[in-house]
A and B are shown apart, each in its own frame.
Chain A
């Protein structure tokens, strides 16, 4: 179980608890976090669950896989700390993770 903080484009913060093994995207969708669309349902096939990982967490969260990098090409305003939240699996280590959502998805 980990507390994950989502900061939307206007700066509003929402916090949800996500169980280990689920993805950050799944936790966001289950809790109706705005700014995450996940059009493809978590198949790493659409880039509509794009988030920016807080700088303090980048190392722990890690870098995107080559397949995820390819999908990120379809994202908008992609930055060095961009990830697809469907590819971040929650573990105890990620308790307190802060991600922000872009101005818009696809």
Chain B
């Protein structure tokens, strides 16, 4: 274990609310690290609707999810936040008053005076297809991600899906696998046309198989897969022999390990007070879609407001001896200095 990263504030979730919180915290001289399970910054805005319009950001009549993310990144640039992507926070332990030890699934460790949960709908995790009994094969024969390709050498692999993940892994694993079958519900793929073309060439050359239909059941014993039952679009049933299955059905939001972080939960949301958006644990705050309070609205603008108030209280934990004087960015030369505009 490498040494813990020390920070004023650790933010869990790099969606719009987490990003804007960096701004409000930065104005008050607090340094921030952010952890996000996605491989990119922006949360739902970047993952679910990068190209879709948002019309209710004050002062911005129209912006896309990606556009908002880019603008927020530009806005917080002066504060130099550090991002830790592709990582999920597994545990939060209170070790001081307040001081928290936060560990991620990548083995990283942080020591933060304040923790801000801005995890939206929870963490994005791979969707599990509705195949009866699939749980019994997960981790032994069924995998939702490829971490080490070598693991799949000489395997008889069934890849399910029609997007880039399915096609990319079909092409990447093809040289080392014993045999690859790609299964999709229609003979039309949303993956990059170039990958689809490569796949079709391999099929035409007899080097892999393409099947159209949906998996309805699995065969095997003790976690070891031997085949998958397939229902074709003509409703005909058949079996595909395989010892490994890789389903790529996109991501879904799951609450994830929030339940293990020691904060109170109410219907999978984190209750907070409305003065500082602090949880039942002093020093742990929750802002954005993940929190709940009387009158809560799941709007990005509400999350921005919550971040601003959170920062005021966080300042007391990070700088217990400093008095906080409220200032406007419009007129305060010291705030403008921090923003690099003066």
Interface residues of A (CB under 8 A from B): 39-40, 43, 45-48, 69-70, 72-74, 76-78, 80, 103-104, 106
Asked whether, in the complex, the Cβ of B252 is within 8 Å of the Cβ of A73, the reply is: no
Bound together, the chains give a CA A104 to CA B252 distance in angstroms of: 13
A74 with B249, Cβ < 8 A, contacts A69-B186, A106-B127 known: yes
Which single residue of chain A is at the shortest CB-CB distance from B44?
A40
Asked whether, in the complex, the Cβ of B188 is within 8 Å of the Cβ of A69, the reply is: yes
Asked whether, in the complex, the Cβ of B48 is within 8 Å of the Cβ of A73, the reply is: no
Which single residue of chain B is at the shortest CB-CB distance from A74?
B250
Which single residue of chain A is at the shortest CB-CB distance from B50?
A45
A103 with B130, Cβ < 8 A, contacts A39-B252, A45-B52, A74-B249 known: yes
Interface of B, secondary structure class, is loop
Asked whether, in the complex, the Cβ of A104 is within 8 Å of the Cβ of B190, the reply is: no
Asked whether, in the complex, the Cβ of B130 is within 8 Å of the Cβ of A77, the reply is: yes
30 contacts between A and B (CB under 8 A): A39-B48, A39-B121, A43-B48, A43-B49, A43-B52, A45-B48, A46-B48, A46-B252, A47-B250, A48-B252, A69-B186, A70-B190, A72-B185, A73-B161, A73-B162, A73-B184, A73-B190, A73-B249, A73-B250, A74-B127, A74-B250, A76-B249, A77-B130, A77-B214, A78-B185, A80-B233, A103-B130, A104-B130, A106-B127, A106-B252
Interface string of B116-141 (1 = CB under 8 A from A): 00000100000101100000000000
- Ranked 4 nearest A-B pairs via Cβ: A70-B190, A74-B250, A106-B252, A76-B130
Interface residues on B, range: 20 to 34
Most chain B CB neighbours (cut-off 10 Å) among A74, A77, A80: A74
Which single residue of chain B is at the shortest CB-CB distance from A70?
B190
Taking a contact as CB atoms closer than 8 A, the residue among B162, B184, B233, B253 that contacts A39 in the complex is B253
Chain A residues lying within 8 Å of B163, measured Cβ to Cβ, are 70, 73
Bound together, the chains give a CA A99 to CA B338 distance in angstroms of: 56
Asked whether, in the complex, the Cβ of B214 is within 8 Å of the Cβ of A78, the reply is: yes
Interface of A, secondary structure class, is loop
Given A72-B185, A76-B129, 12 extra CB contacts under 8 A: A39-B48, A39-B252, A39-B253, A40-B48, A73-B161, A73-B162, A73-B163, A73-B186, A74-B249, A78-B185, A78-B214, A103-B130
Taking a contact as CB atoms closer than 8 A, the residue among A45, A78, A103 that contacts B49 in the complex is A45
Bound together, the chains give a CA A73 to CA B249 distance in angstroms of: 7
Shortest Cβ gap from A31 to chain B (Å): 19
Which single residue of chain A is at the shortest CB-CB distance from B250?
A74
Which single residue of chain A is at the shortest CB-CB distance from B184?
A73
Shortest Cβ gap from A26 to chain B (Å): 16
Shortest Cβ gap from A3 to chain B (Å): 29
Bound together, the chains give a CA A39 to CA B161 distance in angstroms of: 21
Please provide the chain B residues from 151 to 179 with a CB less than 8 Å away from any CB of chain A in the complex.
161-163
Chain A residues lying within 8 Å of B49, measured Cβ to Cβ, are 40, 43, 45
Bound together, the chains give a CA A76 to CA B48 distance in angstroms of: 18
Chain B residues lying within 8 Å of A106, measured Cβ to Cβ, are 127, 252
Which single residue of chain A is at the shortest CB-CB distance from B65?
A43
Shortest Cβ gap from A82 to chain B (Å): 10
Bound together, the chains give a CA A46 to CA B48 distance in angstroms of: 7
Chain B residues lying within 8 Å of A45, measured Cβ to Cβ, are 48-49, 52
Chain A residues lying within 8 Å of B48, measured Cβ to Cβ, are 39-40, 43, 45-46
Chain A residues lying within 8 Å of B214, measured Cβ to Cβ, are 77-78
Which single residue of chain B is at the shortest CB-CB distance from A46?
B48
Bound together, the chains give a CA A78 to CA B185 distance in angstroms of: 8
Shortest Cβ gap from A78 to chain B (Å): 6
Most chain B CB neighbours (cut-off 10 Å) among A39, A48, A73, A80: A73
Chain A residues lying within 8 Å of B190, measured Cβ to Cβ, are 70, 73
Please provide the chain B residues from 223 to 267 with a CB less than 8 Å away from any CB of chain A in the complex.
233, 249-250, 252-253
